[in-house]
């Protein structure tokens, strides 16, 4: 399912004696631009060989086998490092509006605002600031402040404004400021596709 990624290198494990740990690696390259996401299925393929107990030498012939490992999922939040700021307002003002992007989103029906706030925080993988991740019970509106560092060492600040109506439909205004307008756009693309 991770078709956007391209395998660039692998380091197989030459030998793994019984009851010993070992590591093998595969490196993938992501495409430029929007963060690629997807699931990797992982299959361990190996050859089982009998070992002569008197010499400790493995036989030349063996039996091929394979073992399905758990899937690895790459999500948009994997491209963000949670980094807090001590004073969000000062950080927001000092970043300036040059690379600011603002849009509104319909998040659909939710049980309450706290559920919507947590969903967006988890989607973006950013650090909540100043305790704004906590939504007072029965709130009809809420503002959440997030900060982080996006891949490429780009600082990002997010201001989320939520509102909920009678049928429990949640609307959200997303304002993003970063040091790179492409990153601000990417944050909006993550939310739009999330």
State pLDDT tens for residues 27-73: 988 887 667 888 988 888 898 988 888 888 888 888 999 999 999 99
- Token digits for 66? 């394979």
Q: What is the pLDDT of residue 1?
A: 67
Please list the residues that pair with 58 across neighbouring strands.
Answer: 51
Q: Is residue 129 within 8 Å of 86, Cβ to Cβ?
A: no
- Token digits for 158? 């997010």
Q: Where are the beta strands (DSSP E) in the chain?
A: 6-11, 25-29, 38-48, 63-74, 80-82, 101-109, 127-128, 141-150, 154-164, 169-178
* Rounded-to-integer distance, Cα 117 and Cα 138, Å: 14
Question: Which value, to the nearest 10 degrees, does the dihedral of the CA atoms of residues 79, 191, 84, 39 take?
Answer: -30
Output the pTM of the full model.
0.79
Q: Is residue 134 within 8 Å of 148, Cβ to Cβ?
A: no
* Rounded-to-integer distance, Cα 38 and Cα 190, Å: 13
Span between the terminal Cα atoms of the chain, in Å:
17
CATH topology of domain 78-193: TATA-Binding Protein (3.30.310)
**In which residue ranges of the chain is pLDDT below 50?**
none
Q: What is the pLDDT of residue 176?
A: 98
Residue 180 dihedral angles phi and psi, to the nearest 5°:
-145, 120
Q: What is the pLDDT of residue 177?
A: 98
Domain positions in the chain: 6-74, 78-193
Q: What is the pLDDT of residue 158?
A: 98
The chain-wide mean pLDDT, for the chain, equals 92
Q: Is residue 133 within 8 Å of 79, Cβ to Cβ?
A: no
């Amino acid at each position: 399912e991770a078709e956007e990624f391209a395998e660039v290198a692998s380091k197989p494990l030459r030998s793994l004696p019984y009851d010993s740990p070992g590591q093998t690696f595969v490196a993938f390259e992501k495409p430029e631009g929007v963060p690629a996401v997807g699931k990797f299925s992982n299959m361990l393929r190996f050859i089982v060989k009998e070992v002569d107990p008197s010499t400790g030498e493995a036989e030349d012939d063996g039996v091929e086998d394979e073992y399905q490992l758990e899937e690895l999922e790459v999500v948009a939040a994997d491209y963000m490092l949670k980094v807090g700021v001590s004073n969000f307002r000062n950080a927001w003002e000092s970043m300036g509006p040059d690379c600011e992007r603002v849009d509104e989103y319909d998040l659909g029906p939710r049980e309450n605002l706290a559920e919507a706030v947590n969903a967006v925080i988890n989607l973006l993988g950013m650090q909540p600031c100043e305790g704004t991740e906590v939504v007072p019970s029965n709130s009809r509106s809420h503002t959440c402040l997030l900060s982080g560092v996006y891949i490429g060492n780009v600082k990002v600040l997010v201001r989320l404004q939520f509102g909920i109506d009678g049928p429990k439909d949640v609307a959200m205004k997303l304002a993003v400021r970063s040091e790179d307008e492409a990153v601000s756009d990417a944050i909006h693309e993550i939310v739009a596709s999330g």
